């Protein structure tokens, strides 16, 4: 499939038939609102059409302003947002969704995700909470207000709960994913269940970009360390959502189609020691 994709806006097809671009842009968080609007606008001008936000990020209103300024029709974008830990529950999710639409100044979302499966390590009824949240999302989807629904940071046991208690299977699982944090079990599970994986933090952190193996491969393939990380995700058929604040890096992050990492080097990347993990565990564990 990946050999048929040659541009960041070439698409995969989700389990419900909805098309989703193969590379997206994770909204960059700045304390300066004006700078946020400019950075998102710059990403749009650079060509990104899959834009990822969340109520927790506080960037929904900035994205709305950037979209309004760009003059490009709404239907040309694939916009994702997420319901936060404190917004979960049946009624609360519907209220949170309405706030998100108001913030984004749109009457529908292309995709809506449950941001985290467990609000905290002391949450004993997370299974019921997730099921209630998912029921609200299923209804919003069936009403045509969301084109696709999914989850974020869900491990197999969290997804199993939705499959057992819900009517519609998640179409996407957005995970922390990068060399040094491959999440092989969850990746395999999602592929088996036709759930498309997206990668937040696909570049890892400075430790990943300065890792000796990443730097070795960047020299070998005559690319940047960031391009190695993004191409790694792409060859795993994972949708990377890189963040960047400069136009140069935004454009460089798109240039992942002109080279291919060898099978041997992919094995090396897949088996790297854990590097650059955020420290955030979906079960609320440290």
Active site residue 57: yes
| Phi/psi at 158 (5° precision) | -75, -40
> What pLDDT was estimated at residue 30?
67
Q: How far apart are CA 4 and CA 11, in angstroms?
A: 9
> What pLDDT was estimated at residue 34?
83
**Strand-strand pairing, 19-21 and 11-13:** antiparallel
Residue 111: strand, helix, or coil: strand
Please identify which of the residues 25, 48, 57, 141 carries the catalytic annotation: 57
Instruction: Please check the confidence at residue 123 and state whether its pLDDT lies above 90.
Output: no
Instruction: Please check the confidence at residue 164 and state whether its pLDDT lies above 80.
Output: yes
The two structure tokens encoding residue 237 = 């058929």
Decide: 202 and 44 in contact? Cβ < 8 Å. Answer: no
User: What is the residue-wise DSSP string for 60-74?
Assistant: HHHHHHHHHHH---G
The residue behind tokens 């506080």 is: 58
CA angle 111, 106, 253 (to 5 degrees): 55
List, for residues 189-219, the tens digit of each pLDDT value. Answer: 999 999 999 999 999 988 999 999 999 999 9
> What pLDDT was estimated at residue 258?
96
Q: Which of the four pLDDT bands, split at 50, 70 and 90, describes residue 284?
A: confident
Average pLDDT in the chain: 96
Instruction: Please check the confidence at residue 242 and state whether its pLDDT lies above 60.
Output: yes
């Amino acid at each position: 499939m990946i050999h048929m994709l040659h541009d960041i806006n070439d698409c995969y097809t989700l389990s419900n038939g909805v098309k989703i671009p193969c590379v997206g842009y994770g909204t960059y968080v700045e304390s300066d609102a004006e700078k946020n609007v400019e950075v998102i606008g710059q990403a749009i001008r650079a060509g990104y059409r899959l834009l990822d936000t969340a109520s927790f990020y506080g960037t929904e209103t900035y994205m709305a302003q950037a979209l309004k300024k760009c003059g490009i029709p709404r239907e040309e974008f694939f916009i994702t947002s997420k319901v936060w830990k404190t917004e979960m529950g049946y009624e609360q999710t519907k209220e949170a969704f309405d706030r998100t639409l108001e913030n984004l100044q749109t009457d529908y979302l292309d995709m809506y995700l449950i941001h985290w499966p467990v609000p905290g390590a002391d949450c004993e009824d997370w299974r019921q909470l997730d099921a209630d949240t998912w029921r609200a999302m299923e209804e919003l989807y069936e009403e045509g207000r969301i084109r696709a629904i999914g989850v974020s940071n869900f491990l197999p046991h969290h997804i199993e709960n939705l499959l057992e208690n819900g009517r519609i299977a998640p179409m996407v699982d957005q995970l922390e994913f990068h060399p040094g944090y491959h999440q092989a079990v969850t990746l395999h599970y999602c592929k088996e269940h036709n759930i498309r994986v997206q990668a937040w933090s696909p570049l890892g952190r400075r430790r990943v970009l300065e890792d000796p193996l990443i730097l070795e491969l960047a020299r070998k393939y005559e690319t940047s360390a960031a391009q190695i990380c993004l191409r790694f995700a792409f060859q795993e058929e994972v949708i990377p959502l890189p963040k960047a604040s400069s136009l140069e890096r935004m454009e460089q992050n798109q240039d992942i189609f002109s080279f291919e990492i060898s099978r041997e080097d992919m094995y090396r990347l897949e088996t790297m020691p854990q590097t650059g993990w955020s420290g955030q565990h979906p079960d609320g564990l440290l």
